[in-house]
Structure 1
Amino acid sequence: MKLYISVDMEGLAGITHWKDETEERERFRKAMNQQVEWVLDGIAQSKRNAEITHIMIADSHGGGENLSYDLLSEKDSRVWLISGSPRPQYMMPAMDDSFDLVFFVGYHGGAGELASSMDHTYSGASVQNVFINGKLMNEATINAAYAGIVNKAPVGLVIGDSALERQLKTDGMMPWVEYVSTKESLARFAAMYKPKQLIREETIAAVKKVLDSDYTKLPLYTFEAPYHCHIDLATSSKCDVIQQMPGIKRVGGRSLEFTSSDYTEMFDAIHGIASMGRIAYC
């Protein structure tokens, strides 16, 4: 059995602002690694532990240089760690159809979500909304669709803030997932943290619950091809730049659309547009 774990930052406890990453780098990295270690503890305590041969972990925040290869390798010898960027399929790199189950760790609400910790969708500086086939998306659902459509693997566990839980559960984006809420997000840069020991216990219990259940019955998050993407950017000048790319149609001052029959192509294009938008004119 092979597990795939994509790890982000904004949905972690102990973090309320991007400056935590730069001004308190050591504490920030400790929080990320610690949350992943708790997931590994849950795996080790699950009934299927002996069946698991491969644990792929993608460091999916920023430049992908946050998780410790040494620490996680010492914690579990089955860990394969993906670090660094830029890279293809940024938050889901090196995934193929040999993986059985996907976990998202440290994830957060999408851009514009009310009371959401550091809400954004791939880039707070460039992207306001992403719609695929008419559905409003966030990073969790866009990535889950990549896992479901391209690799036929379900997302069984999501660990993140209260706003993402609301989107996935209450708004019906992925109501089937097991969810661990790390903090009650009060505003974009304010949150109420749960006791660390409680998060550890809930993480271990959730991992065990998912692995010990019949995960093969979990639904895949999918769309029917062709895939139509509508993106609202932060400023019209960003559209001025990105509209020059092949296949991109400008449909408004800050809005772009494109269609593809290949979800991987769409997946990479969304990341590419977000990245270009960050460096394009204000």
Structure 2
Amino acid sequence: MKVFLSTDIEGVCGTTRAEEVLSGQLSYTASTKQMTQEVNAACIGAKNAGATHIVVKDSHELGTNIDPNGLIEDAVLIRGWSGTPEFMMYGLDDSFDAAIYIGYHSAAMVQGNPLSHTANGRKIVETKLNGEIFSEFTLCMYTAAYYGVPSVFISGDKVLCEAAKSQVPNISTVAVKDGWGGATINMSPRKAVHLIQSEVEKVLKSDYKGSIPDMPSEFQLDITFKMAVDAVKMSHFPGAKLKSDFTVNFTTNDFYELMRFFLFAA
């Protein structure tokens, strides 16, 4: 069994403020330690379920948050950014059996995590796909589906986990925290690690093949930028058009083309 794991940090247990997730800040190290523990828990759960090959994609900020020496020996770690349209799913292909997401967070313009954003929070105000606000998980889930890989497990904030359930009904979730305004309510970090390990093992021992969402026949992507200049610039991407002063629309029936557009837009 080959398992692909993509990890972010804003959805790990405890993270609440920006300085906790930005490299170079005093409280950043504690967050990366919890991130690594939650990733290791998922890897151990996968290994206990029979996984023989586990690839971990570090998908936050510079992509260099996990100390390679802190990761379990059975996992392969992808650090940094490839510059390819797979974005947070770089390294995934159709040879994998399952995709797992650790530390994911709610979308921009969605209440549920003080650190909610989608892709580049410095540039992007809101993202919509076929009229619905979407998160980074949505993009990654469809990327996995594009390669025929089921999305079987996600951990993060409660609102994101509920949204993931609505998109992939069979997905297993562990909501390690809930957010309101600038606050988070967190379970014990040790409990989060325990639940992630046990739930990953449980789902990978089950019949999870049905956890591939149906791909829409057409993708209508709307991105609203903070600066009008970014919207004007992206409206010149082939197939894109200016929808309003700050919003660009890109429509395609080929998901890989949507991935390509998003790579340049974000």
TM-score, normalised by the number of residues in structure 1 = 0.86
- CA–CA distance in 2 between the matches of 1:83 and 1:183? 26
Q: 1: CA distance between counterparts of 2:126 and 2:169? A: 21
Q: 2:168 maps to what in 1?
A: 174
Name 1:43's counterpart in structure 2: 46
For residues 18-37 of structure 1, the aligned pairs below 5 Å read 18-20=18-20, 21=22, 22-23=24-25, 24-37=27-40
Alignment of 1:120-139 (within 5 A): 120-139=117-136
* Separation of aligned partners in 2, 1:256 and 1:43: 40
Deviation at 1:183, TM superposition (A): 1.1
The residue type equivalent to 2:163 in the other structure is Q
> Which residue pairs with 2:79 in the alignment?
83
SS of the residue 1:241 aligns to: helix
Q: 1:16 Cα shift?
A: 0.9
Mapped to 1, the partners of 2:9 and 2:200 lie a distance apart of: 19
From 199, 204, 219, give the equivalent of 1:227.
219
Residue 13 of structure 2 aligns with an amino acid whose one-letter code is A
Structure-1 separation of matches of 2:214 and 2:260: 17
Identity score, percent: 26
Give the distance between the partners of 1:100 and 1:10, measured in 2 at CA. 26
Show the counterpart of 2:193: 200
Matched, 1:246 2:238: yes
Q: How many angstroms apart in 2 are the aligned matches of 1:94 and 1:39?
A: 18
Query: Unaligned stretches of 5+ in structure 1?
Result: 275-282
Question: What letter matches 2:125 in structure 1?
Answer: Q
2:124 aligned with 1:140: no
8 Å contact kept, 1:117–1:161: no
Q: Deviations over 1:17-37 (max 9, x none)?
A: 221133123222212111111
2:157 to 161, 169, 174: 161
Give the Cα–Cα distance (whole angstroms) in 1 for the partners of residues 179 and 169 of structure 2: 20
TM-score w.r.t. the length of structure 2 is 0.91
CA distance in structure 2 between the partners assigned to 1:135 and 1:219 by the alignment: 21
Root mean square deviation of aligned Cα: 1.8
Residues 8-17 or 258-267, more deviating: 258-267
- Map of 1:278 onto structure 2: none
Structure 2 CA distance for partners of 1:204 and 1:271, relative to 1, 3 Å: same
Unmatched runs of 5 consecutive residues or more in structure 2? none
What is the DSSP-based 3-state SS (H/G/I as helix, E as strand, rest coil) of the residue aligned with 1:215?
Answer: coil
